[in-house]
A and B are shown apart, each in its own frame.
Chain A
Amino acid sequence: MSNSEILHVVTTIIQEVLELPDLNVTVNTSAADVDEWDSMTHIQLIAAIESKYKVRFALGELQALKNVGDMIELIQKKLNK
């Protein structure tokens, strides 16, 4: 799966979880840029991504995520395992 495909899916998930249908998401978007993106919605996002791609992230991996780009890379890594 290409990074842009993943970005497309992740964007939809983020828009749904944060309840912001018009949010513009790029690889550089991070939690700090979006007020609605806090610890609570973050865990919902992670859970939604995990169930969508049938992967499970390690706790330590979650802390290292700085932006959407990191998230896509992590998904890619899990899918290629």
Chain B
Amino acid sequence: MLFNSYSFIFAFLPLALIGYFTLNHLKQVSLAKTWLIAASLYFYTFYSFNNLPILAMSLLMNYFIGHSLHSELKWISKQNLFRFGLVFNIGLLSFFKYSGFLLPLGLSFFTLQQVAFLIDSYEGLAEEKSFLDYAVFVCFFPTLISGPIVHYQLLMPQIASKDNKRFNLDLFSTGIFVFCMGLVKKVLISEAFASWAKPGFDEATSLDLLAAWKTSLSYLFQLYYDFSGYTDMAIGIGYMFNVKLPQNFNSPFRSKSIIEFWSRWHMTLSQFINTYLFTPIVRAMPKITFKSTMFATFTAMFIAGIWHGAGMTFVVYGALHGFALVVNHMWKKRKKKLPPFMAWFLTFNFINITFVVFRAKDLVGAIKVLKGMFGFTGVVVPKVIVKSVGPLKDFGFKMGTYLQPTDYALIFMLFGAFYLIFKAKSSLELEKEFKPETKVAVACGLAFVFCFFGMNRITEFIYFNF
């Protein structure tokens, strides 16, 4: 089921909330949890039941292993059981990611979440006795399909807390506010940019300079508003259930270095990679030196790249970012600072270029867009501009058509997006300042009505594919 669909907003979500809080009100705590799991499974299997066996298998196996790590076992050592658990999860994920089978919905996310749980269980930080609680942790529908990746120790105490079992109007209204911001990001902003990004990547055979930049920048904003919109909606729904989910984005395009970018973009994934991949790699080395940490940095980033999928594009994407992180660390060591604008400009363009690789169907498609961006396929100037700045034709510029209304819309949206990124408050800042006032309610209502009409052509979220 999609957050941005009529059936979710008008039927599923209200029923899920009413059932959950009613059962909790009647002191039927176990029934309330069962209700939440049933609702989550309905949400998960709304379009197809095909993925359910994989989710069930992963859940049962990890529960069994996690549980066994805390009991006395004769037939296997804890270390071997733990290793088996890791191999099982990584094997399951790799099999579906790289064998060409259709990737089960959410597998990448619920696998990582359970790997973290297994490691924490093995190291004595997490323990689960109740199967019901474990199933809530894995299936909780706001985070099931695309994160934010949440730790057992963060989610479950909130579900267990007595105070959180009562409907909380303050948190509910915060939830609606955050959900509305996410809805606007997805339905009004991301969808618009998607319509400009798609033709350049999927239809055109070659792109001139302006068309290539239009394509790449549109995708950059499409991806950001799609995923951060999804996350806002997930966080908003979390609030409605009295659960505070972790932040996943922190104005990433304001970053002035690649190191900074990865601490602001898809933060729960970065933290997972840093904690459970980078740190063990460094610890496995005989000595912590600059070289060994750089090796670990590159390896961790590379794995993060191919976590997204099997294509060569993700291999290159991971390698480019791994390499950039190493260069960034080497530069930092020299303690020379770039002027802020320069630092931002380099970072932003590097991200934009690597997102082209990330989005393209294959490397040939990526090279097509990049060639255009670097001016190898010439420049086609719209007639309006040529007329006003004189005979550009003499300098080898080709003459295009007049600007169409969609071009003006794109220019407006690009300015708008840059404004939002630099000058406007982020959804996190807005959430902190949120007060349930009339004007906020009116704004939310208006935003919702606008989105309402945009939702008749519902589209999936990009991160459902990863």
Q: Give the size range of B's interface with the partner.
A: 20 to 34
Q: Hey, which chain A residues are within 8 Å of B294, CB to CB?
A: 40
Chain A residues packing against B (C-beta within 8 Å): 36, 38-40, 43-44, 46-47, 58-64
A47→B288 contact, CB < 8 A? yes
Residue among B119, B259, B290, B297 making CB contact with A60, cutoff 8 Å? B119
Encode contact with A along B106-133: 1 for CB under 8 Å, 0 otherwise. 0000000000100110011110000000
B380 touches A (CB below 8 Å): no
A59→B288 contact, CB < 8 A? no
B151→A60 contact, CB < 8 A? yes
Residue among A36, A44, A47, A63 making CB contact with B275, cutoff 8 Å? A63
Q: A43-B293, A59-B276 are in contact. List 8 more A-B contacts (CB 8 A).
A: A39-B259, A39-B278, A44-B293, A60-B116, A60-B123, A60-B125, A60-B151, A63-B151
| Most B Cβ at <10 Å: residue of A44, A47, A59 | A59
B297→A40 contact, CB < 8 A? yes
Encode contact with A along B22-50: 1 for CB under 8 Å, 0 otherwise. 00000000000000000000000000000
Q: Hey, which chain A residues are within 8 Å of B274, CB to CB?
A: 39, 63
B275→A40 contact, CB < 8 A? no
Q: Which of B232-288 contact A (CB under 8 A)?
A: 259, 263, 271, 274-276, 278-280, 282, 288
* Total A-B pairs, Cβ < 8 A: 52
> How close is A58's CB to chain B, nearest CB, in angstroms?
4
B153 touches A (CB below 8 Å): yes
The verdict on A39 contacting B297 (CB below 8 Å), with A60-B151, A62-B275, A63-B271 known, is yes
B125→A61 contact, CB < 8 A? yes
B123→A59 contact, CB < 8 A? yes
Q: Is chain B's interface secondary structure helix, strand, loop, or mixed overall?
A: helix
B153→A60 contact, CB < 8 A? yes
B198 touches A (CB below 8 Å): no
Q: Which of B73-110 contact A (CB under 8 A)?
A: none
A43→B279 contact, CB < 8 A? yes
Which of chain A's residues has its CB closest to B289's CB? A44
B398 touches A (CB below 8 Å): no
Which of chain A's residues has its CB closest to B282's CB? A43
- State the CA gap A62–B280 with chains docked (Å): 12
Which of chain A's residues has its CB closest to B124's CB? A58
The verdict on A44 contacting B288 (CB below 8 Å), with A39-B274, A60-B116 known, is yes
B123→A58 contact, CB < 8 A? yes
Q: List 22 A-B contacts (CB under 8 A).
A: A36-B332, A38-B263, A38-B329, A39-B259, A39-B278, A39-B297, A40-B290, A40-B293, A43-B278, A43-B279, A43-B282, A44-B288, A58-B124, A59-B120, A59-B275, A60-B120, A60-B123, A60-B126, A60-B153, A61-B125, A62-B279, A63-B275
Q: Hey, which chain B residues are within 8 Å of A39, CB to CB?
A: 259, 274, 278, 297
- State the CA gap A63–B274 with chains docked (Å): 9
> How close is B133's CB to chain A, nearest CB, in angstroms?
18
* Smallest CB-CB A-B distances: 5 pairs: A58-B123, A60-B120, A63-B275, A60-B125, A40-B293
Q: Hey, which chain B residues are within 8 Å of A59, CB to CB?
A: 119-120, 123, 275-276, 279-280
- State the CA gap A61–B101 with chains docked (Å): 36
- State the CA gap A50–B120 with chains docked (Å): 19
- State the CA gap A59–B293 with chains docked (Å): 16
- State the CA gap A61–B329 with chains docked (Å): 25
> How close is A30's CB to chain B, nearest CB, in angstroms?
12
Residue among A40, A46, A47, A58 making CB contact with B120, cutoff 8 Å? A58
Q: Hey, which chain A residues are within 8 Å of B275, CB to CB?
A: 59-60, 62-63
- State the CA gap A62–B125 with chains docked (Å): 11
Which of chain A's residues has its CB closest to B256's CB? A35
- State the CA gap A48–B116 with chains docked (Å): 25
- State the CA gap A44–B276 with chains docked (Å): 16
Which of chain B's residues has its CB closest to A36's CB? B332
- State the CA gap A58–B329 with chains docked (Å): 26
> How close is B49's CB to chain A, nearest CB, in angstroms?
34
> How close is A20's CB to chain B, nearest CB, in angstroms?
10
Q: Hey, which chain B residues are within 8 Å of A61, CB to CB?
A: 123, 125
Q: Hey, which chain A residues are within 8 Å of B282, CB to CB?
A: 43
Which of chain A's residues has its CB closest to B126's CB? A60
- State the CA gap A61–B275 with chains docked (Å): 9
Which of chain B's residues has its CB closest to A44's CB? B288
Which of chain B's residues has its CB closest to A31's CB? B263
Q: Hey, which chain A residues are within 8 Å of B120, CB to CB?
A: 58-60
- State the CA gap A77–B51 with chains docked (Å): 43
Q: Hey, which chain A residues are within 8 Å of B151, CB to CB?
A: 60, 63
Q: Hey, which chain B residues are within 8 Å of A43, CB to CB?
A: 278-279, 282, 288, 293
> How close is B284's CB to chain A, nearest CB, in angstroms?
12
> How close is A1's CB to chain B, nearest CB, in angstroms?
23
Residue among B119, B259, B288 making CB contact with A38, cutoff 8 Å? B259
